[in-house]
Every structure is written in C-alpha cells, then in structure tokens.
C-alpha cells in the first residue's frame, strides 16, 4: 500500500522513502526543526518572532508519535523556548531545544537549562563592535547578542543590501582579530565562535537517539551543515532522511539540498499536519 497517496507535496525519492519509513516506524524517528523562518515567521524585530500557533501545534501532534522532537537554533535556548512557548505545549514532552547551534540545551523532560559561558573572543568583539559600526555610518544596525555569537542585522536600515556590502570586510577583519567566524544570513552577519554548527548539533542528537529516520526542517544558510550531516548519513545507508526547506524570497540555499519545499511556516504547518494524519491513519 502506498501510504503517501494523499500527500500534496512533491518529494524526492529519498524523501518519499523517509516519509514511508516514518509512517512504518514513527518511534524510530528524530524530528528536528529550526526555529526562525520555520516555526516562526521572520519579522523585523527578532525578539518578537513568536512561533506560529499552527506550527507548534503540528509539532506537538507529531511529538506524541515520533521518538523525539528537537528544535535546533542559533538563538539563545531560553529565547527559543519563550518565543515558541515550548514549555507550555502538551505533546512536546520528548522535546529538546538546542540553542546557539548546540552550545546550549533545554530538555522538556527535566525543564533544565544548560547554558555555558561564552568564549572571550565574543566578549572582546562585542566591546569593539559599536565603534566599528559607527565608523561605517551604520550605528543604527541592530545588534543581537547571542552569547556565542553576535548578529549585525541590516533589515531595518534604509539600504539593507548596501549596508551588508559595507559591513562584510570590516566584520570579517573584526572576526579574524578575535578568532571568530563570520556567517552570512538573511540581512545579517553573525560573528560566531568556531566549532559549533547545526551539523555538529544534529550528529550529537543522532548519536543519542539512534533513530532510523531523521527529519530536519530549515530555512537559512545556518541550516546547511545540518542538511549536509543528514545527507551524508543517508548516503551511507545508516538512516533515512527527510529534509524540509521552508522557502522564502530571501534565501534559497537549501532548495537544492531539500527533499520537499514548502511555503514558509504556513507550509511547514500543512506538512506537519499531513504527516500527523498519515501517522494517525
Ligand atoms: Mg531559520
């Protein structure tokens, strides 16, 4: 029986295999999702990026059926839990939230936060950053302190594209001086401590959970290492993998790597709903 007949999505062959594997054995599934742009819409003020109710409800519905649910985000773990109201949602009892690309963690089972201190380079770069921005005439760029990383956002500036171009080299130099990496995103540059990315975070979850099937839903460049980690394990035949791209007009780096493309958080909600229906059938 083809369990995917009612599915309205175009899946790759590998994605269809993973979908069928999830339906056949949901308990052996690890379901991971990014936060911004996947569970929550992208908004001008990142502190107001509340998760869409339908995405979190869908995740919770799946949470009662799959082996484990995880949010893997570049955000502070506390902020992601708060903006998703993830500690209030029934059905997410198996959930872990990996913040700062896995540097921080919260587990629903214990309610405990693990939040280590930030490395020195981040603190030093943070102290210098306002002076660098003022020197470029970009003092109004929004700064986001994520402890392990610093975000410089240009979305709210008059010329967001021009500001990105102006920032790139000076921020790269600042990052080099303090042993940090620079990561571009949607109208943002992030200066980040090295050695932490979503690929490492997902591999650690896979080692812990030993799933047969892994789902990852992402929307931005920071999700590429996670997609690549799942793809490489899938290529060896160790797991099935379903990679979901929550598409936007701002970023299409994941399109080529994904098994299914959906239209932003509303599309993610529909896909979660379809998968939950398939599991409940
Ligand atoms: Mg995102």
pLDDT, position 103: 87
Whole-number Å distance between alpha carbons of 120 and 211: 36
pLDDT reading at 4 higher than 80: no
> Where among 192, 222, 254 does a domain terminate?
192
Distance 281 CA to ligand 1 centre (A): 31
Q: Give a yes or no: residue 6 inside a domain.
A: no
Distance 90 CA to ligand 1 centre (A): 24
- % of the chain residues with pLDDT over 90: 83
Distance 53 CA to ligand 1 centre (A): 17
Distance 1 CA to ligand 1 centre (A): 36
Whole-number Å distance between alpha carbons of 3 and 29: 17
Distance 246 CA to ligand 1 centre (A): 9
Distance 219 CA to ligand 1 centre (A): 5
- In terms of domains, do 246 and 261 share one? yes
Distance 151 CA to ligand 1 centre (A): 13
- In terms of domains, do 136 and 107 share one? no
pLDDT reading at 6 higher than 60: no
> Where among 192, 209, 227 does a domain terminate?
192
- % of the chain residues with pLDDT over 70: 97
Q: Give a yes or no: residue 110 inside a domain.
A: yes
pLDDT, position 5: 43
- In terms of domains, do 225 and 188 share one? no
pLDDT, position 215: 98
pLDDT, position 149: 85
Distance 217 CA to ligand 1 centre (A): 9
CATH number assigned to the domain comprising residue 204: 3.40.50.1000
Distance 35 CA to ligand 1 centre (A): 6
Distance 222 CA to ligand 1 centre (A): 7
What value does the mean pLDDT take over residues 184-201?
89
Q: Give a yes or no: residue 5 inside a domain.
A: no
Q: Give a yes or no: residue 3 inside a domain.
A: no
Q: Between these two residues, 154 and 116, which has the higher pLDDT value?
A: 154
Distance 37 CA to ligand 1 centre (A): 5
Closest CA to 222 of 41, 36, 8: 36
- In terms of domains, do 143 and 162 share one? yes
pLDDT reading at 2 higher than 70: no
- In terms of domains, do 96 and 19 share one? yes
Domains in the chain: how many in total? 2
- In terms of domains, do 176 and 218 share one? no
* 10-64 pLDDT tens trace: 999 999 999 999 999 999 999 999 999 999 999 888 899 999 999 999 999 999 9
pLDDT reading at 8 higher than 70: no
* 266-281 pLDDT tens trace: 999 999 999 999 999 8
CATH number assigned to the domain comprising residue 162: 3.30.70
- In terms of domains, do 181 and 210 share one? no
Q: Give a yes or no: residue 7 inside a domain.
A: no
Q: Give a yes or no: residue 1 inside a domain.
A: no
Distance 240 CA to ligand 1 centre (A): 23
- In terms of domains, do 95 and 216 share one? yes
Distance 227 CA to ligand 1 centre (A): 13
Distance 45 CA to ligand 1 centre (A): 14
Three state DSSP letters for the chain: CCCCCCCCCCCCHHHHHHHHHHHHCHHHEEEEECCECCCECCCCCHHHCCCCHHHHHHHHHHHCCCCEEEEECCCCHHHHHHHHCCCCCCCCCCCEEEEHHHCEEEECCCCEEECCCCCHHHHHHHHHHHHHHHHCCCCCCEEEECCCEEEEECCCCCCHHHHHHHHHHHHHHHHHHCCCEEEEECCEEEEECCCCCHHHHHHHHHHHHCCCEEEEEECCHHHHHHHHHHHHHHHCCCCEEEEEEECCCCCCCCHHHCCEEECHHHHHHHHHHHHHHHHHC
Q: Give a yes or no: residue 40 inside a domain.
A: yes
pLDDT, position 93: 94
Q: Give a yes or no: residue 108 inside a domain.
A: yes
Whole-number Å distance between alpha carbons of 224 and 100: 15
- Describe the strand order of the beta sheet including 96-99 as a list of residue ranges: 112-114, 104-107, 96-99, 68-72, 29-33, 213-218, 240-246, 260-262
Task: Find the domain containing 170 and state its range.
Answer: 120-192
- In terms of domains, do 24 and 36 share one? yes
- In terms of domains, do 38 and 83 share one? yes
């Amino acid at each position: 029986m083809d369990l995917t007949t009612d599915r309205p999505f175009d899946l790759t062959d590998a994605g269809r295999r993973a979908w069928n594997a999830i339906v056949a054995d949901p308990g052996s599934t690890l379901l991971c999702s990014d936060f911004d742009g996947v569970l929550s819409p992208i908004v001008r003020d990142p502190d107001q990026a509340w998760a869409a109710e339908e995405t979190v409800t869908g995740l919770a519905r799946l949470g009662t059926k799959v082996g484990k649910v995880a949010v893997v985000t570049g955000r502070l773990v506390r902020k992601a839990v708060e903006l998703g109201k993830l500690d209030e949602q029934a059905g997410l009892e198996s959930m872990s939230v990996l913040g700062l690309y896995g540097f921080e963690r919260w587990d629903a089972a214990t309610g405990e936060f693990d939040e280590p201190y930030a490395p020195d380079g981040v603190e030093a770069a943070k102290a210098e950053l306002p002076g660098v921005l003022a020197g470029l005439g970009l003092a109004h760029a929004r700064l986001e302190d994520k402890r392990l990383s610093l975000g410089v956002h240009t979305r709210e500036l008059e010329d967001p594209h021009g500001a990105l171009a102006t920032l790139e080299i000076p921020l790269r130099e600042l990052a080099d001086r303090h042993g940090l990496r620079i990561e571009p995103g949607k109208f943002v540059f992030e200066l980040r401590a090295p050695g932490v990315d979503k690929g490492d975070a997902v591999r650690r979850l896979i080692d812990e959970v030993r799933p047969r099937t892994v789902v990852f839903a992402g929307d931005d460049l920071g999700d590429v290492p996670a997609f690549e980690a799942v793809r490489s394990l899938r290529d060896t035949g160790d797991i099935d993998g379903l990679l979901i791209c929550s598409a936007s007009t701002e970023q299409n780096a994941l399109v080529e790597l994904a098994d299914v493309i959906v239209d932003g958080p509303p599309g993610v909600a529909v896909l979660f709903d379809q998968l939950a229906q398939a599991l409940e059938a």
